[in-house]
Structure formats: C-alpha cells, structure tokens
Structure 1
C-alpha cells in the first residue's frame, strides 16, 4: 500500500476542527501480483542479468571494448552515415536468423524505410553562432616553450583587457612592461619528488575557445598553496563571469594537486579591499579567511567584513593582548646577500661601513616578513 502525505494541503476535520494532513491511498490491487507471476518475473530478470554478465565476460576475455552510442537517424547524423552499412548487415543477420526472413526481403532500401526514415521533423542543428565551438584549459609554465608560442596572443589580450576594463592607455603597457608585471618571476621552477606533476613555480592558466585565447589566470604554485596573482579576459565576453569561473577552476586545481602533494591545501586569492567592487566578490567563496594585519592570524571573512565597513584598516583579533608570535626582532640573524656572498647581518655590518638608513631598512624588512622568513630568505644589499 502506498501512502502519500501532502503536508501543505491541509483540510479541516469536522471531528476535531484541526488541520489534518491529506492522505492519498492507492488501491491495493495495483501493487500486487500473483505468486506465480512474481516468480516468472524474477526468473526473467535473473536470465537477463546472466546474459549481460556473459556478454561482458565474453568481450573482456577477447580484448574487445564494449561501447554504446546514441546517434541521430533523422536527419541522419555523421555518425549514422559512417556506420550505415555495418548497422544494415547486423539487421540483415538478425532478421534471417531470428525471424527467418529471406535476404531478398531485407534489402537496404527496406531497412532504410523501416528503421531510418522517420516522419518526425526535429531541428537538431545547433545555432550557427555556437557551431563547432570547443573549450580548452591549459596550464603552462612562464618559461616553457608552450607559453612562448602564445606570448603575443596573451599580451594582446592583456592590453585589450587593461584598456576596456581599467581604462588604461594602450601605450602604458609595452611588452617589456607586461613581462615585468606578469611573466618575470622570482620563483625558480622546482620539481621535487613528491611534489605536484608540473612542479612549483609561476604559471599561466590559459582558457581557449575554439582556438582563440579568451582568458588567462596568472598563478603561483607553492608548497602550501596556489596563489592567484592576476586574471584578465576578453572584454567582449564579460557577461560570462569568467573571473568567477576561473576561481572555481583554480580551486579545483588546488584540490587536484593536493592528492599529489598533501601540504598543498590552500587557495590564496590575494588582497581583499572591502570598498573595491572588483574585489568584494572574493568574500563570496566560503569558507574564506582574512589575515589580521597585526597578529598575522587568520579569521573568517564573515567576522571581518562588519569591522571593515567601519574602518578600512582594522585589527581582526579581538584579543588586544595577542601579538605576532614572529615579531620579536633579532636584526643580527637576518640573512643578506652582498656581491654574491650570503651572510648574517652582524657579519655584513662588521665588514662594511653602513649608513643609519641601511639599518632602518633591514629592520623594516624583518618586521614585514617576520623573523622565521628573514632567517631563510636573502635580502640583497648593494
């Protein structure tokens, strides 16, 4: 018996004067069958199941590949025309072996009239504007031959984007300026064992539509995260929300690379400016976190946005006693590079006569990057 409760279709009960759920009951005989019929159906199902298993086993043992295709017969598709004779031969064998028909009866003309031609008129042709389109996403390293082959097209797309979206003049962005901004990178390519297949470094994720470059996402693949550097696209396709799509693709890339390098588990979207409409979209991806500019701890973006509505700059950590655990400076341990020689700052200061400004610059640098990084990175000094 099938009982369906329509909770929103209440009726007033004359007995209780309260709203009761409306019950629909279907007749019992519609869902029953004789025991003999049930057994017969069960045996048929079991027979079909066994036949399918035998077919699968037969194809596997002979190294065949089983493939099922759905092809349009009217109007005839290219796939149908390519296999027309083969399909007819199968039909001919079937009719002769199963139904006892003669070969003279089962002609190609009869097959076409019987199973191909149809009175149904369906317009299955795609619109001319979308006919033959294909979409391709390619990840290329900035120093690779693949990138160099598409560099001119990528540069032209960037200039168009800057002109139409940011209203910047064409002459501002020469090719060397484009290279300095989005191609040249301080990250050296690194492909260690246990890392992602393409290694670490700077990449362009290119989006191609029917052989035309329509968008580029500039990213850095780092040991702990993928960092989104910049994104530009064809202004004519602005209605497609390609920036949102690219962010989702980069998130998917992060998830994919995590399986190769488990330490790579974050997607870094860069700076967030509450008052900038072009950046506020970043808060729509959840869960997301913002970095406190004073304690360098991460906080949910939902808790940070009300504070940013009040002040453009604010501390996200409500604990006023909390400080940056890496803020205690020891200037002597900062690593510097002078004339291709690396040394700690105390040795650098003892070897060269320094101006007071030099000390202030190094202190500012150490405060910005933190001592854990200052002990591992090299600060170049002239």
Structure 2
C-alpha cells in the first residue's frame, strides 16, 4: 500500500490543482485514483476449483486456490514472507485452514449434514495450493447438496468452479455470492473405495470423471467472468485507453486493437495449456512498464499509424497476465479448452464493449475541441506515472 502523503506534498498538490482548469483537474484526480497500487491487481481473477466424488457414504475431493489468494485470506500463513506457501507452513496451519475453509463448506447427503475434515494441504505446480478433504455421510446418499458459504469470506468477485461426480453424470457450476449451492444426483449404487491417507509425500490426483456434456450455464458464467475481469482490470483499461487516446484513421486503430487481441490470445493459450508460463513476478512488472511506455510514446507520435508493431509484443505480455488464475487453480487438462475459450471470449467481448464506448467519445471530444494537444499530453504523462507507480509496487511492494 502506498504511504500517506506528508503535509508538504499535500500543499504542493493543492497548489498545482488550484492552478489547473476544471477539466484538467478532473483528469489529475482520476490519474491519482488509478495510480494507487491497491487497485492494480487486474490479473488476479479470484477463482478456485473444487473437484469431489461420492464414494459410498464418503464425499472425497480437493479444493485448489491460488497461493496468493489463500495467503491474503489467512494473514500470517506465509510466515517467512517469501510469497510462497511451503508444505511446512501449510501443515503447521492445518487446524486454522480446516476451520476457515472446510468448516465453511456444508455438504448435505439426502438432507442430512455430512461433517467434513481436512486431510492435508500441499502446494502444487503453478503457484497453487490444494486442500484434500473428506465429508462423511451417515449412509450412501442418493443426492448431495453443496452449500459453499466460504465464498462470502473471500473477495467480493470470487468464483469457485465446483464439479461433483459419482452420479449418472458430473454436475458442475461456477459458484459466487448470489449462487453458493450445487445439488448433484448420485447413482443408486456407488462402490465404496478406501479413503485417502491422512498424510502423503505427494498429492494424489483427484478422481474427476468426464461429464457427459458441458453445462451451458458454466460456459456462460466463465464468459461473464472474462467480461468482468476486463471491466475491473484497471491497469489493462489504462493501457487500452493509452493506445486509442491519440486517435487516427479507424483502420489504424482497429489494426492496433486486433494485433493486441491476437497476441494476448496466443499467450493466454500457451500459459493455460501449460506449454510455457513466465513467472508472474516478471509478467506483472512488465505489464506496468508497457503502460508507462505507451504514455511516453504518446508524447512523441501523432496518431496510431504503424502502432500495431509495438502492441503485438505488449499483447503477448498481457496475455500471460490474463492466464494467471486459470493456471494457478490447475484445471484438469480436459477442462482447459472450454474454460480457455469461454473466458477469453468474455475478455474480448468486454474489451470491444469498452472500445465501442471510448472511440465515439474521444472522436466527439476532438470535434468539440475539448481533447486539445495539451490535454492529450497531460493525460499521457499521467498514464506514465500510473505505469511507473504500478511497476514500483509490483517489484518492491510485495
């Protein structure tokens, strides 16, 4: 979090703003608002995954979080503050994790409560953490109902991709605050299997039978999550605004946007499919620098002609940022294509919706003489400052 301004800085800012015309003062305050690093977590989607299978009277499964999200949810979990949750840190916090997570998931078998317990928690590849849990019902259930109250304790826009097997088909849903329940029909006879050991040197894979068909509601929810991710991604919006601020011929602007879209779609696919994923510790500062660069470039070029050449590599960087949460929760490979397609389509739809509003407004402002070269220069400087602030926070503020 940024440090409060001292009195001297407050007086300097007040003197500067008093001397600015109202329109420029508004831009100044808007940029200050954007520059607060607390609002810069544009690429943390807030997504967890739950995979459960009913085996006799037991409901066994795994819940996977991004490490950063679990550490934020349970302050002090990362005791050595190295931004990584070790197996020992998770083991030492076993009871705390059980109370905060497992106890906030209610499982009902035919209407009767199935008490749950945490077996163990382990870090997994991709900066994730998987919790192995079991819920014990009094008898093999014909129907299982999950009520995930845990979602109320997490970030406001958190989503959990929940899948429940053991019945005639796999039931799945993307849960959030207004929809925290999932009811799954279970086959009349489910063969009981041995429960997982209380501890293990390596994390066994969760049984995740393939669904007969994809649930349309889940696909739609992932699509809407992609739209929301863009609309709440302040640093991405600042970058996009900087790209179109100068205007120019419509063909040139569309080429810039197309190059950016194609590029980040490529790297989103590479990262989510596990082909290649640079560390977020490199990608997030690089995204901030791309914002600063666009602001600097706006001070020296006149329009968007030829700008697609620079937006193409920057789009590759932003795509890795979008892939972060999808990778951290370790989606099963069979589920990756659907999640990738739906989420990415939502990202593109949100981006096009924003541009459909911005481009006419910027053109109107130019015709009315409001978007003068001075306003463009000042706005570009503020974009640079926002990018630099995010870069400093992402490198030194962790």
TM-score (norm 1): 0.19
Structure with more relative contact order (C-alpha pairs < 8 Å, separation 6 or more): 2
The structure carrying a bigger helix percent of its residues is 2
TM-score (norm 2): 0.19
Larger Rg: 1
